[in-house]
Structure 1
C-alpha cells in the first residue's frame, strides 16, 4: 500500500493543488485525469520520487519498487536493444555476482572465527534469502517476449539502440519497466508511440500481470480497458471514483449537477442575507440579528463549481470540391529499400467519400504507402490520384512545418474561407488558444500546441481527400472529440493512420491491414477487425 499524504505543490506562491491525500492499493489500476495544467504529471513525478512537494509526501513500505515512464526520455546509446532491456534485471544480476564473489572469498579465507568472516557469511545469507526467494526466470526469454510484444522483430534485438527513433526507444524503456515487475507502474501517455497490436499487448499485460498501475492517457479505449478507478485532479483538489473512465464521466456529471444546485442555493441565501442586512442596518431592534447574519456570511465557505467546457461550437469542414469516382488507385505497387521489401504487389482503390483506416505494426509500410500516394517517393507499379483530387495531408511531423514567424491567429486566417473566418477566435478557443494566446508566434509554442494548431489549420482547408497520419498523438480527449465529430460529418474521402481505437471507432468503414509485406483489404469496421484480430494477435505474442 502506497500512501499520498496531504500533498501540496505551489509555484510562485500559487497552489497547484493543496492537502491532497489518497491511497494506492496493491491491485489498483488508476486513471489520473484532469484538464491540461491541472497538475497530473507533477503529481505522478512526486509519487515517482523525481519531484518534491511543497508540503506533504508519499509513504510506502521498505523495498517497494516504483517504476515511472515519462512522456519524454533520453537513453544512452551504448548497447543493443536486447542489452538495454536486460538492464531491468541489473539488480538481480548484481546480487548474483556479489554472492558469487563473496562465496569465492570464503573459500580462500581461513580466519573462520574473525568478525570480518562472520560479516561475509551474514551478507551472503542476506543476499541468498532475497535471491533464492525470487521466481526462477529465463531472463533472456522474458526480454524477448516483452520486446516482441511491444513491436520489435527478432532481427531488431541485436541492433544498437542508436538506430531507433524516440518512439521506439520509449518502447525499450517501457519493456524495462514491465520486466521489473514493480509494485507500482506509473505511465504518462504510454500509447503515443505504439501501434494498435502493441497497445492490445500492453493492455493485457497491465490487466493480467501488473500489480498497481497509475496512468495518464488521452486514449479513452486504453484507459477504459485497464482501469478500475479514476482520480480526477480539478481546481487544486482531487475526486476519487471507484470506476473506469466512462463511468467516471457519468458520475462527474451527477457531481457537477449537485454542485451547481448547491451553488445556486448558496447564492440565493447570500443574496437574501445581504438584503436583510441592508434593509435593517441601523434598526435598533434588529441589531443582534444583523450582526449574527454578518458573522454568518464571514464564516460561509463558498461553494465552487468544477470547470467544465460548455462550448457549443461544432467544427465543420467546408464542403468538399467534387472529385472523381476513385480519388486513389493503386495497382501492383511495391516498395523496396535495398534488400528490404516494405510491401509488394499491393492493389486497391478508394472510392469517393469512403473513410478507411491503415492499420498494422509500425514499420509495416503504412506511412510509406501514404508517401507513395502523395508522390513523395519512388516505387514499382502504379499509383495515381483521381480527377480533381485535392489533398489535405497531416504528417507525423506536421507541427514542425508551420511558419514559425506567423502568429496563431495568422496561421489559421491564411487558410480559412467564407463564413468560417468570423469564427476563428471561437475555433481557436475550443482548441485551448484563448485570450493572448492567439497573438503568440508559432516559434514560442510547445510541441503539443503546434500539433493542435496544425490540426485546426488542416480542418479549415477546402479539400476532398484527407490523409491523417497519427493525428491524435499530442491531443487531449476534448480536442480529439471535436476533430472526430468534424470528420464524421466530412463529405470527402478520408485515409486514417492511427493507433487510437476510440478515435477510429465509428469513423472507419473499411480497413487496410499492412502485414508481412502485404496490404490486405477488409470490408469491415475497425471494431469488427479488432475483435477478430485481438485473439489472433494475443496467441501469436504468447502472453
Structure 2
C-alpha cells in the first residue's frame, strides 16, 4: 500500500494543490484526470520521487518497486534495443556479479576462523538465496516477449537505439518498466506513440499481469478498459471515484449539480440574512441579532462549484470546390528502401466524400503511403490525385515544422490571405489562443499548443481532401472531441491515420490495413474492424504467453 499524505505544491505563492491525501492499494488501476495545468503530471512526478512537494509525504514499504514512464525521455544510444531492455534485470546481473566476486575472494583467503571470513560466507549465503529464487526467470525470453508485444521485430533487437525515433525509444523504456514487475507502474500518456495492436497488448498486460497502475491518458477507450478508479485533480483538490472514466463523468456531473443546488441555497441564505442586517442595522432592539448575523456571514465558508473546462476548439472547415469522383487512386504501387520492402503491388481507390482509415503496426507503411500520395517520395507503380483536388495535409511532425522564432500571431498572419486576415484573432480564439498569449513565441509553447497552432494553419484554406497523420497526439480530450465532430461534419474526402481507437470509432466506413508488406482493403467500418482485430490479437497474445 502506497500512501499520499497531505501533499501540497506551491509555485511563487500560487497553490497548485494543497492537503491532498489518498491511498494506492495493491491492485488499483487508477486514471489520474483533470484539465491541462491542473497538476496531474506534477502529482505523478511526486509519487515517482522525481519531484519534491512543498509539504507532505509519500509513504510506501521499504522494498516497494515504483516504475515511472514520463512523456519524454531518451534511452542510452550506446546500447542495442535488447541490451537496453535487459537493464530491467540489472538487479539479477548485479547479484550474480557480486556472488562471483565474493566467491573469488573466499578462494584466496586463508583466515577461515576469522569474523571477516564468516561475514563473507553469510553475505554469499544471503545473496545466493535471493539470486536462486530469481534465477528461474528466463530473462531473455521475457525481454523478447515484451519487445515483440510492443511492436519490435526480431531483427530490431540488435540494432542500436540511436536508429529509432523518440516514439520507439519510449517503447523500449516501457518494456523495461513492464519487465521489472513493479508494485506500482506510473504511466504518463503511454499510448501517444504506440500503434493499436501494441495498445491492445499493453492493456492485456496491465489488466492481467501488473499490480497497481496510475495512468494519465487522453485515450478514453484505453483508460476505460484498464482502470477501475478515477482520481480527478481540480481547483487544488482531488475527488476520488471508485469508477472508470465513463462512469466518473456521470458521477462528476451529479456532484456538480449538487454543488450548484447547495451554492444557490447558500446564496439565498446569505441574501436573506444580509437583507435583515440592512433593514435593522441601527435599530437598538435588533442590535444583538444584527451583530450575530454579521459574524455568522463573516465566518461562512462559501461553497465552490467545480470549474468546467469550457475552452473548446471550434473547427469549421470552410467550403471547398467539388473534386473529381476519385480523389485518390493507386495501382500496383510498391515502395522499397534497398532490400527492405515496405509494401508491394498495393491498389487503392478512394471515392469523393469517403472517410477511410489507414491502420496497422508502426513501420508497415501507413505514413509512407501518405507521402506517396503527396508526391514526397519515389515509388514504383501508379499513384494519382483526381481532378480539382485541393489537399490539406497534417503530418506527424507538423508541429515541429513551425518557426520557433515567430509568435503565435505571426505564424498565422504569415500564411493568411485576403479577407481572412481580418479574422486572425477570432480564429486563434477558437483554438484557445487569446490575449497576451498571441505574442508568445512558438519556442515556448507546449506540444499540445504547437499541434493546435499547426491545425490553424491547415484550416486557413478550403480543401476537399484532408489527410491527417496522427492529428490527436498532444490534444486533450476536449480538443479531440471537437476535432472529431468537425471531421464528422466535413463533406470532403478524409484519409486518417491514428492509433486512438476512441477517436477513430464512427469516423470511417472503409479501412485499409497495412500488414506483411501488403495493403488490404476492408469494406467495413473502423468499429467492426477494431472489434475483430482485438479478438485476433488477444488470441496471438495467448499463443505467445
Report if TM-score (shorter chain) is over 0.5: yes
Q: Is the 8 A contact 1:85 1:143 kept in 2?
A: yes
Residues 1:57 and 2:57 are matched in the alignment: yes
Give unpaired runs (5+ residues) of structure 2.
none
Q: 1:26 to 1:423 in 2, by over 3 A?
A: farther
Q: Aligned partners of 2:325, 2:112: CA distance in 1, in Å? A: 91
Residues 1:345 and 2:348 are matched in the alignment: no
What's the offset of the Cα at 1:406? 4.7
Deviations 1:272-321 (A, max 9, x none): 22222122111111111111111111111111111113468853222232
Q: 1:392 to 1:166 in 2, by over 3 A?
A: same
Question: Counterparts in 2 of 1:366-445, with a 5 A limit?
Answer: 366-404=366-404, 406-412=406-412, 425=425, 428-445=428-445
Q: Aligned partners of 1:438, 1:426: CA distance in 2, in Å? A: 11
Q: What is the DSSP-based 3-state SS (H/G/I as helix, E as strand, rest coil) of the residue aligned with 1:132? A: helix
In structure 2, the partner of 1:139 is: 139
What's the offset of the Cα at 1:211? 0.4
Deviations 1:427-459 (A, max 9, x none): 534533233213334344233211111123323
Question: Counterparts in 2 of 1:165-184, with a 5 A limit?
Answer: 165-184=165-184
What's the offset of the Cα at 1:417? 8.5
Q: Is the 8 A contact 2:311 2:432 kept in 1?
A: no
In structure 1, the partner of 2:26 is: 26
Q: Is the 8 A contact 1:315 1:427 kept in 2?
A: no
Q: Aligned partners of 1:50, 1:127: CA distance in 2, in Å? A: 29
Tell me which moved more, 150-159 or 271-280: 271-280
Q: 1:233 to 1:427 in 2, by over 3 A?
A: farther
In structure 2, the partner of 1:515 is: 515
Q: What is the DSSP-based 3-state SS (H/G/I as helix, E as strand, rest coil) of the residue aligned with 2:392? A: strand
Q: Aligned partners of 2:450, 2:95: CA distance in 1, in Å? A: 47
Q: Aligned partners of 2:284, 2:132: CA distance in 1, in Å? A: 85
Deviations 1:158-209 (A, max 9, x none): 0011111111111100000000000000001111111111111111111110
Question: Counterparts in 2 of 1:453-464, with a 5 A limit?
Answer: 453-464=453-464
Deviations 1:247-294 (A, max 9, x none): 111111111111111111112222222222122111111111111111
Tell me which moved more, 447-456 or 171-180: 447-456
Cα RMSD for the two superposed structures: 1.9
Q: 1:460 to 1:253 in 2, by over 3 A?
A: farther
Q: What is the DSSP-based 3-state SS (H/G/I as helix, E as strand, rest coil) of the residue aligned with 1:203? A: helix
Q: Is the 8 A contact 2:99 2:128 kept in 1?
A: yes
Q: Aligned partners of 1:376, 1:279: CA distance in 2, in Å? A: 79
Q: Is the 8 A contact 1:405 1:441 kept in 2?
A: yes
Q: Is the 8 A contact 1:464 1:493 kept in 2?
A: yes
Q: What is the DSSP-based 3-state SS (H/G/I as helix, E as strand, rest coil) of the residue aligned with 1:133? A: helix
In structure 1, the partner of 2:6 is: 6
Q: How many residues are treated as equivalent by the alignment? A: 543
Question: Counterparts in 2 of 1:120-519, with a 5 A limit?
Answer: 120-134=120-134, 136-310=136-310, 314-404=314-404, 406-412=406-412, 425=425, 428-519=428-519
What's the offset of the Cα at 1:536? 2.0
Q: What is the DSSP-based 3-state SS (H/G/I as helix, E as strand, rest coil) of the residue aligned with 2:133? A: coil
Q: Aligned partners of 1:246, 1:418: CA distance in 2, in Å? A: 44
Q: 1:427 to 1:308 in 2, by over 3 A?
A: farther
Q: Is the 8 A contact 2:4 2:57 kept in 1?
A: yes
Q: Aligned partners of 1:440, 1:342: CA distance in 2, in Å? A: 41
What's the offset of the Cα at 1:105? 2.9
What's the offset of the Cα at 1:123? 1.4
What's the offset of the Cα at 1:150? 0.6
Q: Is the 8 A contact 1:313 1:426 kept in 2?
A: no
Q: Aligned partners of 1:368, 1:492: CA distance in 2, in Å? A: 22
What's the offset of the Cα at 1:415? 6.2
Q: Aligned partners of 1:513, 1:490: CA distance in 2, in Å? A: 23
What's the offset of the Cα at 1:392? 0.0
Q: Is the 8 A contact 2:312 2:478 kept in 1?
A: no
What's the offset of the Cα at 1:47? 0.4
Q: Is the 8 A contact 1:313 1:427 kept in 2?
A: no
Q: Aligned partners of 1:71, 1:513: CA distance in 2, in Å? A: 28
Q: Aligned partners of 1:159, 1:293: CA distance in 2, in Å? A: 76
Q: Aligned partners of 2:274, 2:73: CA distance in 1, in Å? A: 56
What's the offset of the Cα at 1:78? 1.2
Q: Aligned partners of 2:148, 2:223: CA distance in 1, in Å? A: 22
Deviations 1:322-380 (A, max 9, x none): 00000000000001111111101001100000000001111111010000001111100
Q: Aligned partners of 1:298, 1:311: CA distance in 2, in Å? A: 34
Give unpaired runs (5+ residues) of structure 1.
none
Q: Is the 8 A contact 2:328 2:384 kept in 1?
A: yes
Deviations 1:452-475 (A, max 9, x none): 111233234310000000111110
In structure 2, the partner of 1:102 is: 102
What's the offset of the Cα at 1:107? 4.0
Q: What is the DSSP-based 3-state SS (H/G/I as helix, E as strand, rest coil) of the residue aligned with 1:125? A: helix
Deviations 1:109-150 (A, max 9, x none): 332321111211221232233223337211101101101111
Q: Aligned partners of 1:499, 1:387: CA distance in 2, in Å? A: 31
Q: Aligned partners of 1:373, 1:85: CA distance in 2, in Å? A: 36
Q: Is the 8 A contact 2:320 2:462 kept in 1?
A: yes
Q: Aligned partners of 1:350, 1:363: CA distance in 2, in Å? A: 23
Q: What is the DSSP-based 3-state SS (H/G/I as helix, E as strand, rest coil) of the residue aligned with 2:134? A: coil
